[in-house]
Amino acid sequence: MNINADYSQRVVINHHELPWIASPESGVERRMLERQGDEVAKATSIVRYKPGSKFQAHLHELGEEIFVLDGTFSDEAGHYCAGTYIMNPPGSSHAPFSESGCVLFVKLRHLGSDQLEREVIDTHAATWHQGMVSGLTVMPLMQQGSGSTLVRWAPQTYFNPHRHYGGEEIFVVDGVFEDEHGRYPAGSWIRSPHMSLHKPFSKEGCIIFVKTGHLLD
């Protein structure tokens, strides 16, 4: 199965417009943003656990990133409320579940040998750092290798035009993100290819999950 698997193409999707697709486990559903493979796949998805649902223990050969969007996600290591970032490194395993239900942003099978230790960050408690322009603050998430970052835009914040070596991937967590190509409310996923150019801004303010430099393959 190939869904938006051509990294040379710009893709914009609001996940709220996609259908929920059942997973092999009862009560766990997915909205597929990109996918290369069948059940074992390099993939980016929105995943919904209904209350009381669980996934059998499984191995992440090439790692996993999770950002909890709503509810409480759990595994044998703990419980993770909305706003928690989790990086499970290559070779790790777990048996996830949700007692009350949850919605997750999930990336699978895209990490490498420089991601060695599991990472968990509560973004409600972690420190924001000043960004490159006034009104922009950043929170590094993955600390190992080429990482992911949470970026917060105050209302009426404008950034300089720039290109993305290795591409850029954005998921709008809250608010409305914009550039000269369009307007992207919460739930939007934007993947821009290697050396793409844009001039981003936010009139209303927003929080976005960002990865850069990982789309050369």
CA torsion angle 82 84 89 93 (round to 10): -40
Judgement on whether residues 109 and 156 belong to the same structural domain of the protein? no
Provide CB contacts within 8 A for 17, sequence distance 6+: none
Which tokens hold the place of 2? 């190939």
Judgement on whether residues 78 and 150 belong to the same structural domain of the protein? no
Judgement on whether residues 160 and 181 belong to the same structural domain of the protein? yes
Pairing mode, if any, of strands 157-158 and 102-108?
unpaired
Q: Please indicate, yes or no, if residue 147 is contained in any of the structural domains.
A: yes
Q: Using the 3D structure, point to which of 72, 105, 122 is the last residue of a domain.
A: 122
Q: How many domains does the chain have?
A: 2
Judgement on whether residues 118 and 141 belong to the same structural domain of the protein? no
What is the value of pTM for the model shown?
Answer: 0.95
Q: Please indicate, yes or no, if residue 217 is contained in any of the structural domains.
A: no
- pLDDT tens, N- to C-terminus, the chain (217 residues): 899 999 999 999 999 999 999 999 999 999 999 999 877 778 999 999 999 999 988 888 888 999 999 999 999 999 999 999 999 998 888 999 999 999 999 999 888 778 888 999 999 999 999 999 999 999 999 888 767 999 999 999 999 999 999 999 999 999 999 999 999 999 999 999 999 999 999 999 999 999 998 888 6
Q: Using the 3D structure, point to which of 96, 122, 148 is the last residue of a domain.
A: 122
Report the pLDDT value the prediction gives residue 58, as an integer from 0 to 100: 85
Q: Please indicate, yes or no, if residue 33 is contained in any of the structural domains.
A: yes
Provide CB contacts within 8 A for 149, sequence distance 6+: 138, 139, 140, 141, 209, 210, 211
Beta bridge partners of 29: 22, 48
Q: Please indicate, yes or no, if residue 202 is contained in any of the structural domains.
A: yes
Which residue segment(s) compose the domain that 42 sits in? 2-10+17-122
Ordered DSSP codes for 137-182 = EEEE---SSS-EEEEEE-TTEE---EEETT-EEEEEEEEEEEETTE
Which tokens hold the place of 80? 């993770």
Q: Please indicate, yes or no, if residue 102 is contained in any of the structural domains.
A: yes
Judgement on whether residues 95 and 138 belong to the same structural domain of the protein? no
Q: Please indicate, yes or no, if residue 148 is contained in any of the structural domains.
A: yes
Q: Using the 3D structure, point to which of 122, 155, 180 is the last residue of a domain.
A: 122
CA 114 to each of CA 40, 44, 90, 122, 137: distance values in angstroms, whole numbers, following the listed order = 22, 20, 9, 22, 26
Judgement on whether residues 89 and 148 belong to the same structural domain of the protein? no
Is 125 exposed, middle or buried (CB count within 10 Å of its CB: 0-12, 13-18, 19+)? exposed
Judgement on whether residues 176 and 73 belong to the same structural domain of the protein? no
